[in-house]
Chain A
Amino acid sequence: MENSAFAIDVRGVTKKFGARTVVNNIAMQVRPGEIYGFLGPNGSGKTTFLRMLCGLLKPDAGDGHCLGLDFRRESGEIKKRVGYMTQKFSFYEDLTIEENLDFIARLYLMPQRKAAVKQSLERLGMTERRQQPAGTLSGGWKQRLALAACLIHEPQLLLLDEPTAGVDPKARRDFWEEIHKLAAEGLTFLITTHYMDEASRCNRLAYIAYGNLLARGTVAEVVKAGGLTTWEVSGENLAALADKIRKLPGVEQVVAFGTTLHVSGRDAEKLQAAVAPFMTEAQRWTKIDSGLEDVFISLMETAKDNFA
């Protein structure tokens, strides 16, 4: 059955809603046990792509395998082996935590259902609160419940759609620790996110904008492929400076990062020539390694020109 060394190995995946192409000819390869980050601005087609992988949407084109199964024809089998965590909490708020887990376990025809639910509750640390309606949980706990419910049927692949949106930093950190633990046990993850710190916790990532895949690889590879030179400026009157240099040739983006300014461009020499006159005493200029965020913003800006 395993005719592919990859957990996900698809290419040419395309989805149109009417005349609008939401996912355009995307290929993706994810290795087993890998945490694969999937990034891109809102409405870029990430959710649509995940939904196609788990059989919720029918792709218009593309082929390939998901866990060794034909992802277009064997979605029934794929569903049994994949856990999908939706962006919005999508369990029953009027059912208790235990009832939700039990319901999901039943749908997957778990042979040791009661034991699986019990184990899942223990793992969640919710054994005492199992009678609590899911609707009364806080955001962080809802997210943990959703993860537990996705895991109950022991899937091989987890598709998580913005799992940490609206979750506080502590809960987010715990969540990622859990994910790394599970990945170490051999589970494969495909996670969409907007957070750069989360992106850098992934083994590899892909960046998608307006349905097109713009970059992929490890964090270092993506940054390198971005080919961006970045200067960090600190000092006073940064806002005024930003306005002055934004329009200069060679300056592709000027972004405020806290109390500093990141000035980037793909042509290092042209950039330096442009900003040289502004390197005065008032501000301190340092050449830094471009960050993931610099690269993504640059990719997004370029993509806007090309596709939007």
Chain B
Amino acid sequence: MNFNLQRFVAIVLKEFIQMRRDRLTFGMMVGIPMLQLVLFGYAINSNPKHLPTAVYAADNSVFSRTIVWGLRNSSYFDLTREAHGPEEIQNWLAEGKVQFAVTVPVDFSRKLLRGEKPDLLLEADATDPSAVGFAQAAVSQLATTVINRDLTGPLARLQSSAPPFNLVSHQHYNPESISQYNIVPGLMGVMLTMTMIIITGLAITRERERGTMENLLSTPVHPGEVIVGKIVPYIMVGYVQVALVLLAAKFLFDVPFIGSVPLLVALTFLFIVANLAVGITFSTIAKNQLQAVQMAFFFFLPSLLLSGYMFPFRGMPGWAQDLGECLPLTHFLRVVRGILLKGNGLAECAPDLWPIALFVVIMLAIGIKRYRQTLD
């Protein structure tokens, strides 16, 4: 019973024909990437700007006007409302009409001029902490730089003194914190995980569910021929998805391509195989197509959440990071972002390649062991 190329080709051809006929699955293979590109690429932004902000200037002075002007000029705030009392501010925050409220207290300028360091109140609707983080940081910077400009002449002594050292911070690889640079390359990994596992998961369970497996098993076909024959067509589908994302990344989202694209394409192969191996293994365990899809989601969810795609990997507790390290998506994200944004080469990627390779070996071993050549 050795691997026969002709029988393998027979399976591949059959899979291609079925793929072409099955419009829904075919649509899913192209539709899911497109949908994810649009949603994740255009809709999701972890650094939100133009947040609705209310101002209550109880102290109508040069300084309060300067602050309001400064806020207006920062891209983070849209001064949508002007309040006439503190109650209004509370109501608007509660009703969700504004995300921020800035209150300049009555004696702001008087205290400022006396050097008493008055308070400037910034209230935020922090039900979603990630929405307010960046904006808050922007305000504190604004307060010092903007006000200093008004403190000239005899008031110059009030200018906040420079700290005893200079903090120089460089944001490497994505200086403007553009979410798309992080999300779009990562999306490649996410959609490969999703479609590859679901589609291959369905491929074998469908044979079992429709009874065609019984027929297949009664022919001299070898399990290796069936499994590899079913994987190959979907590797090609995976590359179509990769091409879609890369084109979108380059031309729609202007993601920098610093590293080598051929290297990325080559390394993606390993990741695609990893996901197909999961799908095949699931399909040998699942009794029907529904179960296969459920298992795929069971794997997809932790991949999405723990891989560092949606949330910063280092922000997770140790056990979650350990779990994340077991998932191929975690390592693939590092590879993609590393190559595209950092210009990493093979040497820098290597630490993330062997875990994926190990994963493939383990999964395929389970899959081939579980693929029953008999119906027992």
- Contact in complex: B22, A94 (CB < 8 Å): yes
Residues of B contacting A106 with CB < 8 Å?
6-7, 9-10, 13
- Contact in complex: B211, A56 (CB < 8 Å): no
What's the nearest-Cβ distance from chain A to residue B371, in Å? 14
- Contact in complex: A91, B215 (CB < 8 Å): yes
- Contact in complex: A56, B10 (CB < 8 Å): no
Bound-state CA distance A88–B214 (Å) is 10
Bound-state CA distance A109–B8 (Å) is 11
Bound-state CA distance A79–B6 (Å) is 17
Residues of A contacting B13 with CB < 8 Å?
103, 106
* Interchain CB contact (< 8 A) of A92 among B7, B18, B375: B18
What's the nearest-Cβ distance from chain B to residue A78, in Å? 9
- Contact in complex: A108, B214 (CB < 8 Å): no
- Contact in complex: A58, B374 (CB < 8 Å): yes
Count contacts on B: residues with CB < 8 A to the other chain: 27
- A229 located at the interface, meaning its Cβ lies under 8 Å from any Cβ of chain B in the complex: no
Most chain A CB within a 10 A radius of its CB, from B13, B217, B221: B217
What's the nearest-Cβ distance from chain A to residue B215, in Å? 4
- A86 located at the interface, meaning its Cβ lies under 8 Å from any Cβ of chain B in the complex: yes
Q: A75-110 CB contact bits vs B (8 Å, 1 = yes)?
A: 010011010101011111111000100011011110
Give B221-278 interface residues, CB cut-off 8 Å to A. 221
- Contact in complex: B375, A57 (CB < 8 Å): yes
Residues of A contacting B17 with CB < 8 Å?
94-95, 99
Residues of B contacting A93 with CB < 8 Å?
210
Bound-state CA distance A54–B4 (Å) is 20
Residues of B contacting A86 with CB < 8 Å?
211, 214-215, 218
- Contact in complex: A90, B215 (CB < 8 Å): yes
* Interchain CB contact (< 8 A) of B221 among A51, A54, A58, A107: A107
List the B residue with the shortest CB-CB distance to A92: B212
- A217 located at the interface, meaning its Cβ lies under 8 Å from any Cβ of chain B in the complex: no
Bound-state CA distance A56–B211 (Å) is 13
- Contact in complex: B217, A56 (CB < 8 Å): yes
- A62 located at the interface, meaning its Cβ lies under 8 Å from any Cβ of chain B in the complex: no
- B21 located at the interface, meaning its Cβ lies under 8 Å from any Cβ of chain A in the complex: yes
- Contact in complex: B375, A51 (CB < 8 Å): yes
Bound-state CA distance A174–B218 (Å) is 26
- Contact in complex: B374, A56 (CB < 8 Å): yes
Residues of B contacting A89 with CB < 8 Å?
211
- A139 located at the interface, meaning its Cβ lies under 8 Å from any Cβ of chain B in the complex: no
- A32 located at the interface, meaning its Cβ lies under 8 Å from any Cβ of chain B in the complex: no
Q: B1-29 CB contact bits vs A (8 Å, 1 = yes)?
A: 10010110110011001100110000000
- 8 A-B pairs in the complex with CB atoms less than 8 angstroms apart: A56-B218, A56-B375, A86-B215, A89-B211, A94-B21, A107-B10, A107-B220, A107-B221
Known A56-B375, A95-B18, A99-B14; 11 more pairs at CB < 8 Å = A55-B218, A58-B376, A79-B220, A91-B212, A93-B210, A95-B14, A95-B17, A103-B13, A106-B6, A107-B221, A109-B6
Interface residues of A (CB under 8 A from B): 51, 54-58, 76, 79-80, 82, 84, 86, 88-95, 99, 103-104, 106-109, 133
